[in-house]
Amino acid sequence: MSATDEESRSLLTDTQAFRGLQAEEALKCYNRALQLARDTIVEPVRVDRISEGSEFVNDKMITELQSLSRRACVYGCLSAHRTLAQRAEMSIHRAELLRCRAFMCEVLAIRLVEKMAEKQVGREELFVEVLTPMFNEFSSGTGESPLQVAVESNAVSFINTLTVQQCVEYIWRGLLLPRSSMDIRIDRRDGDGYVQGYQWPTTIKVGFAALPEGRISVPLYRYAAETAFSFILLGIYTFVVNYRTPNVNIAEIIMYLLVVAFGMTEIKQFTAQGSDFYFLTLFNGIDTMIMLIFTAAFGFRCYGQWVGSDDILKGPNDASYDLLACNAVFLWTRAIHVLSGFRYFGEMVVIIRSMMRDAAYFFIMFSFVLVGFVQAFAGLARATPAEGPGFGKGIYLLAKAFLQAPDFEDAERMHDVLGPPLLIFFMVLASVIMLNMLIAFFNQSYTVVVDSATQQHVFQFTLNVLGVGLDTTRYPFIPPTNLLEPFLYLPHLMLPERKYLAFRRWVWIVAVFPSNLLLAIFEELMPQTTAQIYRVKEDKEFAEEQEEGADRCSDLGTSPEQRNIPGVSYSNGGDEFEQEARPEEMLKFLVAEIKALRKQVDQLSDKKQ
C-alpha cells in the first residue's frame, strides 16, 4: 500500500459540499431515532418482532433518516440506542419498554448499513465516511466513531452484521489506511464535529517494496509487535525477580525502561479511548494493576538506593523485590491475551470477564456480612480495655472458615460460650448460602455466553481491533520506540507544523525500521499468507449470504407484507407462519382464503362434469 497523500481517493465527488454541520445533522438523526422508537413501541414486545419484517422498522423510516444525513444517520441511531439502554439500566418500571426501544434503534442502524451496502460503491462510502469517522459526542463534545458507540452500548447484533465485520477486518488487515496527521488536524479545525480518520488506498505495497515506511502501522502487525514486546518484558522481568542484587543492575534498568514504554502505551490508549471504553477489555484492568505494582516497586527501590541499604532480605529493597514477585500473577495472566484471538480462547476470556463481574458484585454484598462478623469477633476477643480490638484475629479466623478450614479452638479462645456458635452461623451463611449463590451466578454467566458464543467472540474481536485501531495515526510509535516521543515535544514547539510532521515521520521511519525490515522479510518469504492478509476482493461470504437470502425468499414465495396478510410473519427459514396480536384481521384473511379455495373446488367440479 502506498502511504502518500496523492494515492488516497475520495469516495464522494461532492465531499466538501456535504462536510458542513455534521454534528448538528447527527443530533437531528439522534432525536428522530428516539422519536421513532417512542412513537412505534408503546409497550414491551418480543425482540424478534422488532428485527423481522417491517411491522416496527420499515423502508419509510430508513429513507427519512438517510434524508436527514447520509453520513450521520448510523451514528445518530446508535447514540439513541446507547441513551435508551442507559435509561433502561436506571429505570425499574419502564426497563423492559426502554430495552425494546433501544433494540429498535439498533435495528434502524442495521437496516441503514444494509441499505448502503447493497452496492459496492455504497459499501466503500460506508466504511470510510459513515462507520469510522469521529463525531462529536452530544453531551461532552469529545470525538467518537459509530463503531466505538456500538461497542460501548453493547450493540452485539449491529457488530455482528456482516458488513460491519468486513469494515472491522479491513481496519485490522490494513486495507483501510489512516489519513495523514495534517489532514486530520485540518478536519478538526473546521469545527463541524466530523473528522474522517481512514481512507482507501489505491495500491498495495508489500515486502521490500513497502520500505522504508513498511507495514508496522497495520493493526495486525502492530498487535503482533506489541505482543512480542510483552514477552520480551516478561523474560527480562523473570531474570530480575529471580536474581536479587543490592545494587541496580543493567537488566533491572532495561526492565524499568520497558515498563515506562509499556505505561506510555497504556496512558495513550486510555486517553484516546476514555475510561468507559478502555475498561471494557478485561486485560486493560490487569494492565492497570501491573503498572501500579511496578510503580510501587520502583518507589521502594529508589528509596533503598537513596538510604544506601544493601540488605536484600529486609527493608525497602526486599519490599521492592517482593512486590515484583507478586506482579508475576498479573503478568503471566496477561499472556492469555495472546490467545484471545482464537475463537475458543476468546470465548473463554469473555466468560472469565463475566464471572469476574459477578464475583465483584458478590463480594460487595458479602463484605457487609463479613464486616458484621469481624466486628462481633473483635468485640469478643477484647479481654481488657487496655488491649486493642482483635480485628486481625477476627479476619484471619473468618478467612479460614470461608476456605473450609475452620478453627473452633481459636473461636473458643475468643469466647468460650459465643465463639463456636457464632463461627458455625458464619459458615452456614457464607459457605453454604452465599457461596452457592456465587456458583449460581457463574453458571448463569456461562450459560448466557455459551448460547451466544459466536456473537461474543466477534464482539471481543471488534473490541480488540478498536483497542489498537482507535489511534488513527499513520506513523504509530510502538513500544519501546515510543520512548522517543517525549523528546519530540521540543521540536514540535520550535518547528512549523508541516516541518514538524515531516521530521516526526523520518524519526519514526528510523526508529521502527528493524521491525519493518522483519515484516518485509516475512512477507517476501510467505507470499501466500501475505496475499491472504491483503486481499481486496469483496468477501465471498457477503455474496453467498445475499444469494441464500434470495433463495430463501423464493422458496417461501412472496412475503406476508407483499401478500397483504395483516399480523403474520414467517418464522426463521420455515414454511410455517406465526400469528401476531391481531386475530380479527387474521380471521378475515382466513375466511377470504377459504372462499377462494371453495371457488376453485367448484370450478374443478364443473370441469369434471
pLDDT at res. 552: 45
pLDDT band at 180 (very low <50, low <70, confident <90, very high): confident
pLDDT at res. 120: 62
pLDDT at 401 over 60: yes
For the segment 193-252, what is each residue's pLDDT rounded down to a tens digit? 677 778 887 777 788 888 888 888 888 888 888 888 989 999 999 999 988 888 888 999
pLDDT band at 98 (very low <50, low <70, confident <90, very high): very high
Which of 86-100, 117-131, 396-410 is predicted least confidently? 117-131
pLDDT at 462 over 90: no
Distance of CA 126 to the CA centre of its chain: 21
The share of the chain scoring above pLDDT 90, in percent, equals 17
pLDDT at res. 250: 93
pLDDT at res. 414: 79
pLDDT at 546 over 60: no
pLDDT at 383 over 80: no
pTM over 0.95: no
How large is the average pLDDT for residues 387-415?
A: 78
* Residues in CB range of 36: below 8 A, 6 or more apart: 61, 104, 108
pLDDT band at 513 (very low <50, low <70, confident <90, very high): very high
pLDDT at 579 over 60: no
Is residue 8 within 8 Å of 179, Cβ to Cβ? Answer: yes
Which of 26-30, 43-47, 459-463 is predicted least confidently? 459-463
What does the mean pLDDT of the chain come to?
Answer: 77
**64 CB neighbour count, 10 Å cutoff:** 14
Distances (CA, A) of 2 to 43, 178, 474, 507: 53, 11, 11, 19
How large is the average pLDDT for residues 354-366?
A: 82
pLDDT at res. 335: 79
Sequential DSSP letters for 23-81 = HHHHHHHHHHHHHHHHHH-SS---HHHHHSTTSSS-HHHHHHHHHH-TTTHHHHHHHHH
The share of the chain scoring above pLDDT 70, in percent, equals 76
Which of 442-446, 460-464, 521-525, 598-602 is predicted least confidently? 598-602
For the segment 595-609, what is each residue's pLDDT rounded down to a tens digit? 677 777 777 766 655
The three-state (H, E, C) secondary structure of 378-398, written as one string: HHHHCCCCCCCCCHHHHHHHH
**Residue from 110, 190, 177, 106 nearest 143 by CA:** 190
pLDDT at res. 608: 58
pLDDT at res. 9: 33
**Residue from 287, 217, 297 nearest 252 by CA:** 297
pLDDT at res. 574: 37
How large is the average pLDDT for residues 540-553?
A: 49
**321 CB neighbour count, 10 Å cutoff:** 22
Q: How far, in Å, CA of 17 to CA of 389, rounded?
A: 75
How large is the average pLDDT for residues 50-73?
A: 87
pLDDT at res. 20: 35
Which of the pair, 465 or 425, is modelled with greater confidence?
425
pLDDT band at 103 (very low <50, low <70, confident <90, very high): very high
For the segment 554-569, what is each residue's pLDDT rounded down to a tens digit? 444 444 434 343 333 3
pLDDT at res. 52: 81
**Cα-trace Rg, the chain:** 31
pLDDT at 131 over 70: yes
pLDDT at res. 306: 85
How large is the average pLDDT for residues 266-293?
A: 79
